[in-house]
Amino acid sequence: MRGIFARHEAEGVAAPALFGTTTSEEVGRAVVTAIRCDTPEIIVTPRPIPPFLALAVLAPRTVQRLTSWAGVTAVARRVARLHERYGDPPTRGETTAGATPRRD
């Protein structure tokens, strides 16, 4: 299973190419490293995200346009619609694929 987008794969949502995907094992190793080294944050991604995050601080509108161009905004909107349709985000071990849509 891959990262935060794995639960949405059944609905056809994939991680934006800008971010790439990471395996559960890589995330697990990063968690263990963070605990052992008392590191507050570890970014686990195959792409060079830290420079992108720094650019977001310096030029937020530029990054907003870049993320929109790269498809990140469209993916985020699609995930938000799925969360709205199925209620709160799934918890451990649950997926939205078998969830029942909310009836308000």
Helix ranges (H only) for the chain are 24-37, 49-58, 60-69, 72-86
Neighbours of 86 (CB within 10 A): 19
pLDDT of residue 16: 78
Reduced to 3 DSSP states, what percent helix, strand and coil does the chain have, rounded to the nearest 5?
A: 55, 0, 45
Domain locations along the chain:
6-86
In angstroms, rounded to a whole number, what is the distance separating the alpha carbons of residues 70 and 40? 28
pTM of the model: 0.53
Residue 19, SS3? coil
Going by C-beta distance under 8 Å and a sequence separation of 6 or more, which residues neighbour residue 6? none
Question: How does pLDDT run across 30-80, given as a tens digit for each residue?
Answer: 999 999 999 998 888 877 788 888 999 999 999 889 888 888 888 888 888
